[in-house]
Amino acid sequence: MSESVSEAESAGSAEIAGRAEPPAESPAESHAPSEPAYEPAAPAPLNLPRTPTGDAEVDARLARLADADHLATDGHVEVYEDVHRGLRDALTALDGRPGPPVPSPSYEQSRS
């Protein structure tokens, strides 16, 4: 009887031991190449000359473009949009300013 018990125990132990083993890895998993580390280049200024326009507000907006020189590429959009908004506002303000007075029709007639 001890033989039958020992055979049953050994069969059960082998079955349990078989389940305890980790599943075999597929060839693709075990030999997958590791991805190379990607390090983007550090931001570098373009050093483009900015010619003053003579309008302080516009020149200040154009000077703001230099802020993009120190940002990663994904930060450029915010700077460009801010500069674009400012330049658009400056142009819109030109439409709201009164221009030189228009001569009256009587002035033109008196000159003739």
Residue 27's Cα: distance from chain center in Å? 37
Do 83 and 57 contact (CB within 8 A), yes or no? no
Cα–Cα distances (Å) from 41 to 7, 18, 44, 72, 80, in that order, read: 67, 51, 8, 9, 21
Residue 43's Cα: distance from chain center in Å? 13
Q: What is the pLDDT of residues 55-108, one digit of tens each?
A: 999 999 999 988 888 888 888 999 999 999 999 999 998 888 777 777 777 766
pTM for the model: 0.48
Do 65 and 86 contact (CB within 8 A), yes or no? no
Q: pLDDT: is 10 or 93 the higher one? A: 93
